[in-house]
Structure 1
């Protein structure tokens, strides 16, 4: 198992500098991670820095709260793709979900899906704020909307990925989408367990620590 190819090397902190992004991309290129995951302002820079590598560029949308309008998320998505993003990680509107506006959540994801077209779309459901019933519901909504991945967390909530959530999500998705685990994954053993449970991507800011452990 080449664990490096599961990793979205992530840097989304609010005080991230250009030098930080340059370091992130250099590390991603060195270790041949699947992607870097950055805020929209840095997509074009990351794309330029990684143009001669196999590393993809992922942009977050509606991050980290997900509570802006669908039109705002659509504009942000279109801009990220124009700047060179290969993948989009969008945050759902948790308030709409919890208000019972399930069709509106479906419409928003479908709207973004129509914009992304051939580009990979991951839907962040922020499991730490959801009941198991809500997790099941939103996984079904994401699949019905055509998402490529359902993703556990932003890493900015009250909790990150858990093994139990992955088991539940895998059962509900039933092979109709892939799963990205993120939030609190900092070492090789934890990352490997998530992969063994069936996740297809790991979102982490500790990618270099995870792959470096293998060489110890």
Structure 2
């Protein structure tokens, strides 16, 4: 098993969130790209404003690493029009994969028709441009029953509207890694939540993200059946070392 090809190596902090200058933050992104080229990760997940720099570095290195970015991140509660506009901009910047934060608050409040429309329109846009779509459901904000229902909902919309043949181009993703739980409980992927997604989203792809920080956990996720792992600890996973730092 080439674990590197399961890894979406991630750096999504803004300079303000990281407490550093914009120049320093850009250097962090460049370092991630260089690491991804060296270790041949599947993808780098970065903010859209860094895509041009990353694309240039990848092209110069003739690397097969692809670029992903996040849409309506991390809250997911902007309008559908804003989501689509942001997604179009990311596509214009040459992003290969788009990770949309589903409006999970709207879902929890029973606005199912708006969630269905969101999934349909965002998926349609990605497929039209030969991009992969990932839908982040933020498992830490949901009950087990809600995880089951929203995973089934996404699957049903994709299969009904775009056919079984497009299941390989759409993911259900666990977490942003930025959600704050009230009781400091796990705010990302756990074995239990990933099992629920897998059982209810397949044949869509599944991405475990948030809290996967070491080789042991990564391999457990892969053994369960996930297709990707979103992590800021890719190097630690590749080197089979422990990472005790907190965060995505």
Q: TM-score range by the shorter chain?
A: over 0.9
Counterparts of 2:204 and 2:116, CA distance in 1: 15
Aligned partner (choices 131, 152, 168) of residue 119 of structure 1: 131
**Which residue matches 2:178?**
156
1:145: Cα distance to partner? 3.0
2:51–2:95 Cα contact (<8 Å) kept: yes
Please identify runs of 4+ aligned residues in structure 1 that moved more than 4 A. Answer: none
**Which residue matches 2:146?**
134
1:164: Cα distance to partner? 0.6
1:133: Cα distance to partner? 1.5
Counterparts of 2:145 and 2:216, CA distance in 1: 29
SS at structure 2 position matched to 1:13: coil
1:113–1:145 Cα contact (<8 Å) kept: no
**Which residue matches 1:36?**
44
1:36–1:56 Cα contact (<8 Å) kept: yes
1:18: Cα distance to partner? 1.3
Q: Deviations over 1:111-139 (max 9, x none)?
A: 11111112110100000010111111111
SS at structure 1 position matched to 2:110: coil
Q: Deviations over 1:155-187 (max 9, x none)?
A: 0013110101111111112x3201100111111
Q: Deviations over 1:46-89 (max 9, x none)?
A: 12211220100001001000011111110110000110100000
1:94: Cα distance to partner? 1.4
SS at structure 2 position matched to 1:181: strand
Asked whether 1:77 is paired with 2:105, we answer no
Give unmatched runs, 5+ long, in structure 2: 19-24, 159-168, 182-186, 242-248
Aligned counterparts, 1:45-124, within 5 A: 45-51=53-59, 52-117=62-127, 118-124=130-136
Counterparts of 1:44 and 1:156, CA distance in 2: 24
1:91–1:125 Cα contact (<8 Å) kept: yes
RMSD (Å), alpha carbons: 1.2
Question: What's the TM-score, normalizing by structure 2?
Answer: 0.83
1:213: Cα distance to partner? 2.0
2:123–2:170 Cα contact (<8 Å) kept: no
Give unmatched runs, 5+ long, in structure 1: none
Compare CA radii of gyration and give the structure with the larger one: 2
2:175–2:188 Cα contact (<8 Å) kept: yes
Asked whether 1:187 is paired with 2:214, we answer yes
